């Protein structure tokens, strides 16, 4: 199961904005230079939240992981951003200076259509997992500051 995140407004008087976008079609996207991983079926403003959520789950931050599966308004998006940053900070502090840092989550993989062979995705390092969590926090914060909430699709 995936987790794609989309900006949304409960009421948007500007009907020229496509669903899941923070700008009018044809206007520059405010997320263009952020290099956020796009949702698998998403818009330019979306986030592929699955990676960060899986990393949170694998590293024991299940409450914060579950927050990413909820729809929230703009204020809620800012709160989720703060919770994501808090989780990343806690994890970094907990494992600071240790050589036995856990790996992130890697649920899923590729299925070879010809052979039926399943190849799991590579397991992210602790540092890669933290980066994905901080990146999700940045996305939630930007969405909230732009006045949008978040719709979680999975």
Q: Where are the domains of the chain?
A: 4-9+36-153
Q: Say what the pLDDT of residue 120 is.
A: 82
pLDDT, the chain, mean: 91
Q: What is the mean pLDDT of residues 76-91?
A: 98
In the chain, what percentage of residues exceed pLDDT 90?
70
Helix axis angle, 126-145 to 50-58, nearest 10°: 130
- Higher pLDDT among residues 129 and 40, named by residue: 129
Q: pLDDT class for 63, splitting at 50, 70, 90? A: very high
Q: Is the pLDDT of residue 121 over 70?
A: yes
Q: Per the structure block, which two tokens stand in for 12?
A: 């948007």
Q: Say what the pLDDT of residue 40 is.
A: 81
Q: Per the structure block, which two tokens stand in for 69?
A: 């599966």
Backbone angles phi and psi of 4, in degrees to 5: -110, 140
Task: Give 24's contacts (C-beta < 8 A, 6+ positions apart).
Answer: 14, 16, 17
Q: Per the structure block, which two tokens stand in for 42?
A: 């998403």
Q: What is the mean pLDDT of residues 58-65?
A: 97
Q: Say what the pLDDT of residue 25 is.
A: 86
Q: What's this model's pTM, rounded to 2 decimal places?
A: 0.89
């Amino acid at each position: 199961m995936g987790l794609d995140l989309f900006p949304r407004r409960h009421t948007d008087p500007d009907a020229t904005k496509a669903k899941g976008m923070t700008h009018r079609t044809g206007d520059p996207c405010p997320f263009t230079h952020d290099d956020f991983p796009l949702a698998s079926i998403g818009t330019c403003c979306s986030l592929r939240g699955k990676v960060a959520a899986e990393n949170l789950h694998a590293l024991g931050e299940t409450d914060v992981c579950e927050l990413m599966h909820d729809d929230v308004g703009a204020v809620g998006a800012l709160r989720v951003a703060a919770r994501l940053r808090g989780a990343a900070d806690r994890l970094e502090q907990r494992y600071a200076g240790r050589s036995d840092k856990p790996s992130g989550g890697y649920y899923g993989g590729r299925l070879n259509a010809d052979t039926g062979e399943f190849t799991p995705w590579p397991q992210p390092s602790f540092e890669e997992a933290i980066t994905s969590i901080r990146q999700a926090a940045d996305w939630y914060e930007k969405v909230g500051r732009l006045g949008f909430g978040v719709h979680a699709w999975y």
